[in-house]
A and B are shown apart, each in its own frame.
Chain A
Amino acid sequence: MTDPTRLHAHELAALLRAGDLSAHQATQAALDAARAGNRALNAWLTIDDARALAEADAADDRLAAARAAGPAALAALHPLLGVPIALKDLVSVKGGQCTAGSRILEGYLAPYDAHITERLRSVGAVIVGKTNMDEFAMGSSTEHSAYGPTANPWDLGRVPGGSSGGSAAAVAAFHVPLAIGTDTGGSIRQPAALTGVVGLKPTYGRVSRYGIVAFASSLDQIGPFARDARDAGALLHAVAGRDARDSTSAPIPVPDELLQLPVSDDQAAAGLRGKRLGLPREYFVAGMEPASEARIRAAVAALEAAGAIVEDVSLPHTDYGLATYYIVAPAEASANLARYDGIRYGPASRDGDVLANYLATRGRGFGAEVKRRIMLGTYALSAGYYDAFYVKAQKVRTLIKADFDAVWAAGFDAIVAPTSPGVAFPLGAKLDDPVAMYLNDACTLPVNMAGLPGVSIPCGLADGLPVGLQLIGAAWSEAPLLALARGYEALTADADWRALEPTDLAASLDPDAPTPAERAAAAAAAA
């Protein structure tokens, strides 16, 4: 019997439909893997056995009924029925915790399901638990979680990226084939690149943010982590679509093409022929690691050899993205996080008067990075600075978006670029310098500023660590974008690096392994 945890979601779905494997078995395997790896990885904040197995049993009932009803009924089943999935711990699941990686939401139990949770329930996916993240999604390494860092299954002494590091690690370490993350400046794509999995940020407005803890409301998007492009398309299809409760969710139909990515490698690779891909020179940022750059250029060469037409393009305002993002995002966050005052939810200080209580509740409940960003945002929006900072940043945002619009107007099908300037870095390596940490998102955050879809796909290893290739598309082009990704997967199907499992996967199962927090402390002490 194949180890169910190694299966891609679409492979699992086929076995479930045939009755060769039950959702209960697949879910139990996921629960066991998650628990066995959690001391060393700390990917999960909640693993909910009872709920998951109940959902799995319900899925098994639906599968059995469909098998009894015949092939047409089986074919009509959603591809995610019975498939185990992880949710980043800022997605509301009714009755469950939703910490957003923060102490200020410790003990809070969500009184309602997020829109995407409702969608996942209705298609019959099995929610195994909630994953670790940088606090309030602010970070690029998952080191800013109030619940300890998450480790990278490729090297337990290194970060998985962030802020969705727990979801990325859970997929990379074969706990679950699918996970949900959020991406505001790169928080799906960058950890996907650092852990060697697929991570997609959809167009802003594609997926409802109702029930998702808000960081920056004009930038946040929800998206899938998966082992391949087909699986990512299926998960996006399940959760996307207009929701009246999120007024920024777009009335754009969810394309069924997301479920129709080419099955055969030949067909997928043929889809690359004649595609015009722009290679933005500004994305090969100063300080990019040479081994990562070499992998990206090799991937581009492979696309060209397959018949894609790759041309240099310029996105001239790329360099201004960091400053712009680190004004807009903290400004929006300072407003969104004003609600955490200990009155309606969360641990609260209640010893003093109202002001003293707010100062103590928020002072103690928020971590250092969150405080930094609230301060930046408050300052940028304050009287006397609003025009110089916030409005200025919004104007530069217009220029950044216009850079991309010019590329689409010139007839390009997609932009191909690095996802991250380097591979996974050691725990603690970038904690002392916030700006060094922010630079991890230089190639991802312009895509959020422009509201466009972007996907990171594995393209090999540099010094034994995963490198991600980023594909960026015009608004609403997730289906053709994933088709390109699928094409690249087909080209590299036999690459030796595809057969490799994360180097520290076996080590992650050691019940006596140090936790990532212990590793980080040891590294800091040794420094």
Chain B
Amino acid sequence: MAVLTRDDVAHVAHLARLGLTDDELTRLEGQLNHILEQYAKLAELDTGAIAPTAQTIELENILRDDIVTPSLPVEAALANAAAREGDFIVVPAIIGGD
């Protein structure tokens, strides 16, 4: 199974939007590789003909009527936001342009 390099760890951290310190990167490199070694065991099993199990409840297509029902009031929905303006949450700009 693959062995993670420090660059791999940094790449995965970036994908997961986790800001890691150098110490954390070093520690995680060792720990993650140790955990990955445990996964090698799964290669012992021939699962070519086995269907994957995503969930055990065996329910499908739980639908409801497409009608508007009461939801959280706006005040409640925005109450925990760091910054708001009117009925909106203020976020940093993601589209450039001055």
Contact = CB atoms under 8 A, between A and B. Distances in A.
Chains A and B come from one and the same complex: yes
A323 B4 CA distance: 17
Given A371-B24, A371-B28, A376-B32, A344 B81 contact: yes
Nearest to B43: A392
Tier of interface size on chain A? 35 or more
A204 B93 CA distance: 41
A324 interface: yes
A317 to B, nearest CB: 8
A376 B18 CA distance: 12
A398 B50 contact: yes
Given A345-B80, A371-B24, A398 B51 contact: yes
Interface in B1-54: 1-2, 4, 9, 12-13, 15-21, 24, 27-28, 31-32, 34-35, 38-39, 41-42, 44-45, 47, 50-54
Contact of A353 (B13, B19, B50, B92): B92
B68 interface: no
A357 interface: yes
A350 interface: yes
A348 to B, nearest CB: 5
A216 to B, nearest CB: 11
Nearest to B14: A359
Given A326-B35, A375-B28, A393-B42, A204 B57 contact: yes
Contacts of B16: 334, 338, 362, 374-375, 378
B38 A435 contact: yes
Given A218-B56, A372-B31, A112 B76 contact: yes
Contacts of B92: 350, 352-354, 357
B59 A205 contact: yes
B56 A348 contact: no
B18 A350 contact: no
A245 to B, nearest CB: 10
B18 A363 contact: yes
A371 B91 contact: no
A401 to B, nearest CB: 6
Question: Which secondary structure characterizes the binding site on chain A?
Answer: helix
Contacts, number: 161
A388 B55 CA distance: 19
Contacts of A352: 92
A343 interface: yes
A267 interface: no
Interface in B51-91: 51-57, 59, 62, 64, 72, 76-77, 79-83, 89, 91
Contact of A250 (B13, B57, B94): B57
A282 interface: no
Contact of A322 (B24, B38, B59, B80): B38
Interface string A357-370: 11110111010100
A360 B19 contact: yes
A111 B72 contact: yes
Given A244-B64, A350-B83, 5 more contacts: A111-B80, A353-B92, A359-B19, A362-B16, A374-B18
Interface of B: 1-2, 4, 9, 12-13, 15-21, 24, 27-28, 31-32, 34-35, 38-39, 41-42, 44-45, 47, 50-57, 59, 62, 64, 72, 76-77, 79-83, 89, 91-94
23 contacts: A111-B72, A111-B76, A111-B77, A112-B76, A205-B56, A205-B59, A247-B62, A248-B55, A319-B41, A322-B38, A323-B39, A323-B42, A338-B17, A343-B81, A346-B80, A372-B35, A375-B28, A379-B4, A399-B45, A435-B34, A450-B56, A451-B57, A475-B56
